[in-house]
């Protein structure tokens, strides 16, 4: 499993995912691939649930490309959240 990070986007969306950086020859192309992304739902700062993202009713894809400029910050999740994430990915 690749490194797991928490991605907080400009629009408030929070995803936990493995990731890979990609080098694009064209300006404006996505530069990060999220692998097995899950949306993090929180209430009062506590993680409530993780949901596959995008939802499986829309796609079976397990990877998605994103533009770095849409990400507000990238942080390392705590160990409890990483364990919860790994459990979801493996099931």
pLDDT at 91: 79
pLDDT at 25: 67
Give the helix/strand (H/E) hosting 33. strand 32-43
What b-and-e string marks burial along 31-55, b requiring 16 or more CB atoms within 10 Å of the CB? Answer: ebbbebbbbbeeeeeebeebebbee
Q: Mean pLDDT per segment of 10 residues, for the chain of length 91 residues?
A: 90 95 80 94 79 87 92 94 92 79
pLDDT at 55: 84
């Amino acid at each position: 499993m690749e490194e797991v990070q928490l991605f907080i986007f400009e629009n408030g969306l929070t995803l936990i995912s493995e990731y890979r950086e990609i080098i694009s020859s064209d300006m404006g192309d996505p530069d990060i691939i999220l692998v097995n992304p899950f949306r993090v739902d929180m209430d009062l700062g506590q993680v409530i649930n993780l949901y596959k993202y995008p939802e499986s009713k829309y796609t079976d894809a397990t990877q998605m490309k994103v533009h770095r400029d849409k990400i507000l910050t990238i942080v390392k999740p705590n160990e409890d959240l990483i364990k919860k994430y790994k459990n979801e990915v493996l099931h």
